[in-house]
Amino acid sequence: SFGWLLLAAGMVGLGSSVFHPESARVARAASGGRYGLAQSVFQVGGNAGSALGPLAAAFVVLRFGQGSIAWFSGVALLAMAVLWGVSRWYAARSRAKVAVAPRASGLSRRKVGLTVGILVALLFSKFFYVASLNTYYTFYLIETFGVSVQASQLLLFLFLGAFAVGVLAGGPIGDRVGRKWVIWVSILGVLPFTLALPYADLFWTAVLTVVIGLVLASASSAIIVYAQELLPGNVGLVNGLFFGLAFGMGGIGAAVLGRLIDLTSIEAVYRLCAVLPAIGLLAAFLPDMRRAAA
């Protein structure tokens, strides 16, 4: 029933919210100093799973019905077994580790607060736009181009697959050239493509969403690691704050956009969302963390 679906979705969300902040800390601990790469590898697991979701819907759920969703619980049980081993490794490492004072960011408290505010605004831009595609892209394709449900799921898979590739690429690039520049190019750089999307035909819609996924996703790990460097010694706080904002904004964005679609149309909402990446201009005010620390 609808009520049980809501309860199940809420439990999945609760588990995810508990898992992500501490797991991001474990990824940083296992990074060997390559924090962007480690964060990208960690996040790409979730994004790859999300990308496979539409394929599961197209070829399993649509074919065998709602009850087939329970089959995927086996994957969750396997993940629990893997995480049990990871937790034992991390617990042993934490007991053996000698406490080291974190390196200061080199910024004043006021500058840190302003920078956190900019990062929150950038997350708002990113995840509200991503919510418009994650949640309503298939409906847009069906309503605008008349494609089948299965075809719309395959096109959603293309977008989410590109998003996963972008997440994986963004971390190592940030390690090499600096995270500020990855954030700047990722969020603002996607603007021409989002502006063109509402006016494209089916072929170019598929192409544009792949480009949007690749470019926009590259900031995912860069924002987290940048914030960790901004607030050294508060990795758990940073992870909880930014993962919480990411998931929360995605959920709120889906609800708000759904209401706007009811009041207007799905095409109008996509034209409105197209300007959200312009908030990426705020990235110009982010300090260079490597220079500040030096």
DSSP output for 228-284: HHHSTT-HHHHHHHHHHHHHHHHHHHHHHHHHHHHHS-HHHHHHHHTTGGGGGGGGG
Task: For 99-111, write each residue's pLDDT tens digit.
Answer: 554 555 677 888 8
Residue 11 DSSP one-character state:
H
- Residue 100, classed as helix, strand or coil, is coil
Range of weakest confidence among 27-36, 86-95, 98-107, 167-176: 98-107
List, in order, residues 6 or more apart from 292 with CB less than 8 Å away.
105, 106, 107
In whole angstroms, give the CA distance from residue 137 to residue 155.
9
Tokens of 129: 């736009």
- Residue 97, classed as helix, strand or coil, is coil
**Is the predicted pLDDT of residue 65 greater than 60, yes or no?**
yes
**Is the predicted pLDDT of residue 120 greater than 70, yes or no?**
yes
User: Which amino acid is present at 101?
Assistant: A
In whole angstroms, give the CA distance from residue 21 to residue 25.
7
Tokens of 130: 């991503």
**What pLDDT is stored for residue 270 in this prediction?**
92
| Residues 129, 254 contacting (CB under 8 angstroms) | no
> Nearest Cα to 140, choosing from 19, 20, 258?
258
Task: For 19-57, write each residue's pLDDT tens digit.
Answer: 888 888 888 888 888 888 888 888 888 878 888 888 888
List, in order, residues 6 or more apart from 171 with CB less than 8 Å away.
35, 36, 37, 38, 39, 40, 41, 221, 222, 225
**What pLDDT is stored for residue 258 in this prediction?**
92
In whole angstroms, give the CA distance from residue 118 to residue 128.
15
**What pLDDT is stored for residue 290 in this prediction?**
64
